[in-house]
Amino acid sequence: MTDPLPTLERLPRGALTLFRILALIRMGLYGAVSFGVALTLSFAGVEHWPFLLPCAVVLGLSVLTAWYPQRAHERWGWALREHDLVISHGVLLHQVVSIPAGRIQHVDVHQGPIERSLGLARLQIFTAAGSGADGEIPGLTRETADALRERLVRREADDVV
Amino acid sequence: MSSEGYAALPSTEEVPWKRLSAKAPLAALVPLSATIGRMLLTALLPTYFAGERGLPTVLWIIMVGIAGILLAAGLYEVATLSYRVVGAQLEIRSGVFTRSSRFIEAARVQNTEVLQPFVSKLLGLVEVKVETASGGKADGHLRGLTPEDAQALIHALQSVRGEGAAVLLPGESSPEERVLSEARLGDLLLYGATALGVGVLAVVLSALHEITETFHKLLLPWMETHWEVMAAPGMGWLAATVAALAGLFGLWLVSGARAVLRFHGFRLVDTGTHLRAVGGLITRRQVTVRRVRIQQVVLDEPLLRRALGFGSVEVETAGVRTGKEASERAELLIPVVPTARMPELLREFVPDLPGAIGSLPLRPAHPKALLRARIRAVGLSVLVAAPATWFWGGWGALAWGLLPAQLLGAWFDWRFQGWFITDTLVVVRQGFWRRRTTVVQRARIQSVRARQGPLERGYGIGHVRIDVAGSHVVLPSVGWAEAQSLIDQLPGRRPARRVRPVPDATPLQQVP
C-alpha cells in the first residue's frame, strides 16, 4: 500500500536547537526536584541511598536528552493542502492530525523568550472542537509561521458548528 | 457566515432595553446562595476536622464576609441586568459602575433552555439559558423573566433566524407538534435503578456512615446483651450480606429518586425545525434543540438495560456542557427508549441513516487489536493482584481471579465493536457491557487524528479519533495505513473558499 500521507514540510534546523534547550531545561528542573526530595529524605534520617535518586534521574534524562530531541525533530512535519492542514508528530505516540480548512476558527502565533532568541515561533490552530488547540506546530521560523497563519485565516470558515 | 436566512429586521437604533422582573433578585437568591455555598465548602471542611474547638472567630467573620460580598455582587448583577434583541444579536448588559455588555449572534445559538426551579415557580418566573459553542456554560443566562418575556425573547431569536416555530413554556403544548417520546414513572424508576453512578455511591456511603454513627449508641446496649448470639459462627458473613443488600437497595432508591427528580413527566416533541424536551419534578426544564445543529447522536445501551428492553438516546449539539457522565454532557437526553423504537427515533434525528443500526454491515476492529486488548487486560490484572497477594497473602491471591474476567471482557469488547461510513455519516459501535453506538455527521467533523502508540506500532495498527464541536468519538483499531488514509476521507469535503486574494503573502518555504 502506498503512503497515504502527502509530502510533509520539515521543521528548520533551529527547531532541533529549541528541542535540545527545552530538554536540558526539563532535565535541570527534574534534577533539582529530585535533589530536593533527596535532601528532605536525608534530613529525615535516611542515610545512604537518597542521593542516588537525583543521580539516577539526571542520568536517565541525559540519555533521553541525547536521543529524544533528534527523533522528535525528525517526526515533526506539516502540509498545507487545498482542503486541510496535516500535522504529523510524536516519537512514542505517533499522531497525524487533519484539520479541514473551513473549520479553523482562529490561529495563534506564540513566541517565548527562547523561541524569540532563535527567531522561531509556535503556531496553534483552533477549531470549534474543544477548549484547547487542535493542532500545534512548534519551531517554525517566524516568517513561515506568519505566512502559514495568513493562509489559514484567510480561508472562509464554513458555518459547520 | 451561516447560510441560514435572516428575516427582514427593522432599523433598530433605538430598540428599548428590557429589564428582568422586579422579583428576579428574590428568585436568584437561592441558586446564587447554593453556588457560593459550594464554592466555600472546601473552606468549611477544616471545621469538620477541627472537632469541638471549631474555627477561630476571625476566620468565620472573613468567610461570612466573602460569602456576603459574593452574594451581593451576584444579586446586583441580576438587579441591573437588561437585554434586547437588536439587529441579528442578543445583547445583554449588566452593572452600573462597571458596565459589561455581551453580544450573542442569533445564528450562532445552538440551543435554548427554559427552566423553572421551585422558587421561580412560586414567584411565577422562569430562567432562560442561551447556549452557543463557545464555552463550558451558557453564554446568556437570564434569571427571573416573566413567562411572557421569555416567550417573546425566544421568539425574537427565532424570527431573526427566519424560523417560525411556536414558542412554548414548560407545561404548555401545541396541537401541531408531534410527540416523539414520553417517559412514565415506572420507566424512570427502572432507568434510575440501572444507572448506578459514582455520585450515587458516594451519597449512599455517606448516608450509611451517618446512620451507623447515629444508631451506634442505641444499638450498643442491645449488642452487649446479645453478645453470644452476635459472636456465633457465620454471623459475620450474615451481617456482611445484609449490609451489602441494604447498600444496594439504598443505591437503587437514591438513583431512582434522582431519575424521577430529573425526568418526571418527560416529553420530547418535534416542532418541525426544533426538538423540544420538557421534564423535571421540582425544577421543570425545557430544552430546545435546533435540528440543523445536531452534531452527533449516541445510543447508550448497557447490558442490564438491553436485557430489560430499553436504552437511552443522547443528542449532542456544539453547546459545551460539563459533567462526569456522557449523559450529563449531552444537550438532550431521552432517558427511556424501548429497543424496538430506537431505529425509528434515530431516523428522526439522523434521516440520512441508510437502514436500522442493527442491519448495518459494521466493519469489525482489526484482529490484532485483540492482542493489544489482552496485553492491557493482563497488565491491569497483574497491577491489582500482585500487590494484593503481597500484602494479604492467600486472601489477596483471590484477586488473580480478575485475570480471566479481564481477558473475557477484553474479548467481548473487541468482538462487539464496529464501524461504518456512509456518504454523510460515520457510525461507531463500542463496548459489550456498556454498548454505545455513535452516529456522527461527517459534515460536522472539526478535525480527525490518527494515533499509534508503541504497542500498536508493534502490531502495525492505530486508531482514529474524530472531533466534532463539543464531543469526540474514537473508531475501533484499524491498520495504520488505513488510519492515515481515513483522516483524509472522513471529513465531509467542502472546498475552502478564499475571501480575498493574498497578494503579499510570504511564500511558504522553510529556512534550512
Query: pLDDT tens, B425-481?
Result: 999 999 888 899 999 999 889 999 999 999 899 999 999 999 998 788 999 999 999
CB contact under 8 A, A100 and B469: no
Same domain for B166 and B48, yes or no, is yes
Give how far Cα B38 sits from Cα of B41, B42, B44, B257, B279, Å: 5, 8, 10, 22, 25
CB contact under 8 A, B447 and A97: yes
Q: Provide the pLDDT confidence category of residue B200 given band limits of 50, 70 and 90.
A: low
Same domain for B46 and B103, yes or no, is yes
Question: Which portions of chain A are predicted below pLDDT 70?
Answer: 1-4, 130-131, 156-161
Give the model confidence (pLDDT) of B356-366 as tens digits.
888 889 999 99
Q: d(Cα B511, Cα A14) in Å, to the nearest integer?
A: 9
Q: Are B418 and B366 in contact (CB under 8 A)?
A: no
Is pLDDT above 80 for B161? no
- Structural domain containing residue B380: 366-412
Q: Is B512 on the interface with A (CB under 8 A)?
A: yes
Lookup: cell for B223? 449488642
The domain ranges of chain A are 12-73, 77-153
Residue A159, pLDDT score: 54
Residue B238, pLDDT score: 77
Same domain for B76 and B145, yes or no, is yes
Instruction: Report if residue B94 sits inside a domain.
Output: yes
Instruction: Report if residue B131 sits inside a domain.
Output: yes
Residue B7, pLDDT score: 46
Q: Are A79 and A53 in contact (CB under 8 A)?
A: no
Is pLDDT above 60 for B133? yes
Identify any residues that bridge with A99 across adjacent strands, giving them in sequence order: A85
CB contact under 8 A, A84 and B491: yes
Provide the shortest C-alpha distance from residue A76 to chain B (in Å): 13
Residue B13, pLDDT score: 60
Instruction: Report if residue B92 sits inside a domain.
Output: yes
User: Which residues in chain B have Cβ-Cβ distances shorter than 8 Å to A14?
Assistant: 511
Q: d(Cα B66, Cα B74) in Å, to the nearest integer?
A: 12
Same domain for B165 and B245, yes or no, is no
CB contact under 8 A, B469 and A128: yes
**B299 phi/psi in degrees, rounded to 5:** -95, 120
CATH number of A77-153: 2.30.29
pTM reported for the whole predicted model: 0.77
Of A134, A135, A159, the CB nearest to B1: A159
Residue B39, pLDDT score: 81
CB contact under 8 A, A100 and B494: yes
- In total, chain B counts a number of residues equal to 512
ipTM of the modeled complex: 0.84
Lookup: cell for B308? 430489560
Same domain for B177 and B196, yes or no, is no
Give the model confidence (pLDDT) of B488-508 as tens digits.
888 875 544 444 444 444 445
Provide the shortest C-alpha distance from residue A17 to chain B (in Å): 13
Q: Provide the pLDDT confidence category of residue B327 given band limits of 50, 70 and 90.
A: low
Number of helices followed by number of strands (H, E) in chain A: 4, 8
CB contact under 8 A, B499 and A154: yes
Same domain for B114 and B172, yes or no, is yes
Q: Are B456 and B462 in contact (CB under 8 A)?
A: yes
Residues of chain B above pLDDT 90, percent: 38
Q: Provide the pLDDT confidence category of residue B51 given band limits of 50, 70 and 90.
A: low
Same domain for B146 and B30, yes or no, is yes
Amino acid B208 reads L
A83-98 burial code (b ≥16 CB/10 A, e <16)? ebbbbbbebeebbbbb
Helix pair angle (B402-415, B368-397), 10° resolution: 160
Final residue belonging to a domain, choices B203, B230, B263: B263
Same domain for B86 and B126, yes or no, is yes
Domains identified in chain B, total number: 3
Of A13, A129, A141, the CB nearest to B469: A129
Q: Are B142 and B127 in contact (CB under 8 A)?
A: yes
Q: Provide the pLDDT confidence category of residue B83 given band limits of 50, 70 and 90.
A: very high
Max distance between CA atoms of chain A, in angstroms, equals 66
Max distance between CA atoms of chain B, in angstroms, equals 96
Same domain for B134 and B233, yes or no, is no
CB contact under 8 A, B454 and A92: yes
Instruction: Report if residue B342 sits inside a domain.
Output: no
Q: d(Cα B317, Cα B470) in Å, to the nearest integer?
A: 7
Residue B248, pLDDT score: 79
Give the model confidence (pLDDT) of B353-397 as tens digits.
888 888 889 999 999 999 988 998 999 999 999 999 998 888 888
Residues of chain B above pLDDT 70, percent: 83
Residue B478: partners with Cβ closer than 8 Å, 6 or more residues away: B365, B366, B461, B462, B463, B464, B486
Q: Provide the pLDDT confidence category of residue B170 given band limits of 50, 70 and 90.
A: low
Helix or strand (DSSP H, E) at B289: strand B284-290
Same domain for B39 and B146, yes or no, is yes
Window 466-495 of B: residues touching A by CB (8 A cutoff) are 467-470, 472, 481, 483-485, 487-488, 491, 493-495
